[in-house]
Chain A
Amino acid sequence: MNKRTPLWMRPGTIGANILVLAVSLLAIFPLIIVLVTAFTPQDETIAYPPELLPSTWTLDNFQGVFDRIPVWSQLWNTIQMSVGVTAISLLLNSMVAYALAFIDFKGRGLLFGLLIATMMIPFQSLLIPLYKMLSEFGWIGTMTGLIVPRAADVAGIFLLRQFFIMIPKELRAAAMIDGASEWKIYWRVMMPNATAGLLTLGIFNFVGNWNDMLWPMVMTNSAEDRTLTAGLALLNGTAQGVIPYGVTMAGSLISVLPLVIMFAFVQKRFIEGVATAGLKG
């Protein structure tokens, strides 16, 4: 499944740089389109012949987004949900992953298998039973309802476990010899060593929850309660009518910007954290 690194590609800095640059451009090209279209007046978004840049730049689309959906409430809801889920799930997932990776307890293999299996059931099928249950709790339309069911997730446990098993076992053994309790080992020895994994999972969960549409859409009944991504669906969910590209892209931009900024900051720390962990070997 891994291609041979072709001999002719192992080369020069220039070649490598060009290649990576090309890939980067391909990666962001659609995002540039989103950016540009957000500032394009509606009647120019679909023109023939198509132009990359509009003749006039406008802020009308953004105004349109603010007119149609309660952006600030939804943004706040999104932040609450993403931060809440990420923080709690990092804790809970890592605890389960720790147990799976380091403690040989009875039933470990079975548990792991069960987790993997449930990861493979599409969420669409779990939605209806889950909704029924949450409806009975009275959690529909509440932040609790949005966060708690997501407070632990199998994919996250799996990821962290894989990172944990890369940590040398001697560390734990040594700590145990020193008389440390399991919790202490977890908190003071393993977690610091798993920074790469934790940061990775943190980013993924944050982004994933920020961008999730189906879950908040089904769990909320009014626009005020929704998250931004779910709220934006209203803009282009019309069965009849042209998708208002300008407004939709402007909305997407508003939704994505915080993530981009966040990642730009975290990216540096992430690399540093990862590098430190690596050098420890």
Chain B
Amino acid sequence: MPLQQQGHPGWTPLRDRIIVTTNAVLDQPAPDGAGQAPQKRRSGRTYNFQRHANRTGWLFAAPGLAILLAFVFFPAGYAFWISLTDSSGLNKPTFIGLDNYVEAFTDADSLNAIWNTVVYAVAYTPIVIAVALFLAIFLNRKDLFARGAQRTLIFMPFIISMAVAALAWSFIINPNTGLMPYWFSKIGINLPDLLNDATWAMPTVIFVAVWKNFGYFMVIFIAGLQGIPGDQYEAASLDGANAWQQFRNVTLPGLRPTMTYVIIVAVNTAFQTFDQIYIMTNGGPLRSTETIVYRVYVEGFSNFNQGYASALSFVLMAITLTIGLIQLSISRKQERDLV
């Protein structure tokens, strides 16, 4: 944390004790400029504080958790139960153990979907983050013309629904009646039939997602960037750092909590891609754009395989959770290294 490094007033030894007991398990920026001394003095005061903290913590979280418990955790639990049965959505489910999960990993269609989804996520995530970060930095510049208007414009794709976005893009790139192929042909480029060509369909779908979402992440990055105190940059440039070094040593570390969020959410959204597939390609051509959630939808709503669909969702969750946890532990480690 920048403040400790500057010996901010309001820094008291008492803080040490408090901080030690409130130190998070997860990627809280490591607090101590004042030394790692874990003087866990089990005085009566600290002990009471812990119990008070427990009570307050849960109390604070209670209202929100109540909603989540009823409307998210409970259905999730039920869905997990269903994934262990042969439920069709309309029948009386019978317990079949892990059969659905076995099938999820052996069925050609779900393997295809898992593969497609991974490819999608691996391509989409770095691209959207890079573009968003890049633009966030640019749009933070003071010398930009009509900065507010630009930000609004770039954020626009996020504001329309994916349904409309997918529709609009399909309309534009339609090989027979769309504007884009027509204009491109005028300058001599013959666009392939983007949505019906097995090589181009996936990149097109990824492009639409990047187009739609980079404004969202850009705004988050801007907020994160604004949270980095200006004096840090001053200090760095006084030390003789150039722009790139400032970026690496001030911006990136300062953005860590933001970046963690962005990566996890980008990966998560990538893995949950459904809407634009459903509208633009229906999983085609030649099933090259079928994603896991698309399979979940087809199995659950069209094939009367609710149990199997549920199992697929939990497989998806397991994959993204693993990635998320890896990301969280990496960033935690990076924080410790920093200090």
Q: Touch between A and B in complex, CB under 8 Å?
A: yes
The SS class assigned to the B binding surface is helix
User: Does A239 lie at the interface of the complex (its beta carbon under 8 Å from any beta carbon of B)?
Assistant: no
**Chain A 121-134 per-residue mask, 1 if CB under 8 angstroms from chain B, else 0:** 11011101110010
User: Roughly how many angstroms separate A212 CA and B171 CA in the complex, as a whole number?
Assistant: 21
Find out whether the CB atom of B145 lies under 8 angstroms from the CB atom of A278.
no
Instruction: With both chains docked as a complex, state the minimum distance between the C-beta of B302 and any C-beta of chain A, in angstroms.
Output: 12
Which among A10, A28, A162, A165 is the interface contact of B156 at CB below 8 angstroms? A28
Q: Which of B99-107, B187-195, B196-204, B218-226 contacts A (4 or more CB under 8 A)?
A: B218-226
Chain B residues whose CB sits within 8 angstroms of the CB of A243 once the complex forms: 167
Instruction: With both chains docked as a complex, state the minimum distance between the C-beta of A65 and any C-beta of chain B, in angstroms.
Output: 13
8 inter-chain pairs at a CB distance below 8 angstroms, sorted by A residue, are A31-B157, A103-B57, A133-B71, A165-B24, A259-B160, A260-B159, A263-B155, A279-B230
Q: Which B residue sits closest to A167, measured CB to CB?
A: B227
Chain A residues whose CB sits within 8 angstroms of the CB of B167 once the complex forms: 236, 243, 248, 252
Chain B residues whose CB sits within 8 angstroms of the CB of A26 once the complex forms: 211
Find out whether the CB atom of A102 lies under 8 angstroms from the CB atom of B22.
yes
User: Does B152 lie at the interface of the complex (its beta carbon under 8 Å from any beta carbon of A)?
Assistant: yes
Find out whether the CB atom of B18 lies under 8 angstroms from the CB atom of A96.
no
Find out whether the CB atom of B130 lies under 8 angstroms from the CB atom of A3.
yes
User: Roughly how many angstroms separate A23 CA and B229 CA in the complex, as a whole number?
Assistant: 28
Which among B23, B56, B68, B78 is the interface contact of A154 at CB below 8 angstroms? B68
Q: Which 6 A-B pairs have the closest CB atoms?
A: A105-B57, A281-B229, A211-B161, A278-B226, A92-B64, A125-B313
**8 A Cβ contacts from A150-166 to B:** 150-155, 157-159, 162-163, 165-166
User: Roughly how many angstroms separate A114 CA and B15 CA in the complex, as a whole number?
Assistant: 30
User: Does A245 lie at the interface of the complex (its beta carbon under 8 Å from any beta carbon of B)?
Assistant: yes
User: Roughly how many angstroms separate A173 CA and B12 CA in the complex, as a whole number?
Assistant: 9
The size of the chain B interface, using a CB distance under 8 A, is 134
User: Does A48 lie at the interface of the complex (its beta carbon under 8 Å from any beta carbon of B)?
Assistant: yes
Interface residues of B (CB under 8 A from A): 1-3, 8, 10-12, 14-15, 18-19, 21-29, 31, 50, 53-58, 60-61, 63-65, 67-68, 70-76, 78-79, 82, 89, 125-126, 129-130, 133-135, 137-139, 141, 143-145, 148, 150-165, 167-169, 171-172, 176-179, 182, 211, 215-216, 219-220, 222-224, 226-231, 243-244, 247, 252, 257-261, 263-265, 268, 271-272, 274, 292-293, 296-297, 300-301, 306, 309-310, 313-314, 316-317, 320-321, 324-325
Do A3 and B164 contact each other (CB < 8 Å), given the known contacts A121-B317, A200-B219? no
Find out whether the CB atom of B76 lies under 8 angstroms from the CB atom of A99.
no
Q: Interface range on chain A: under 10, 10 to 19, 20 to 34, or 35 or more?
A: 35 or more
Instruction: Give 11 new A-B contacts, CB below 8 A, not counting A124-B293, A236-B167.
Output: A17-B143, A30-B168, A92-B63, A105-B55, A121-B76, A124-B297, A124-B301, A125-B314, A168-B8, A173-B18, A233-B163
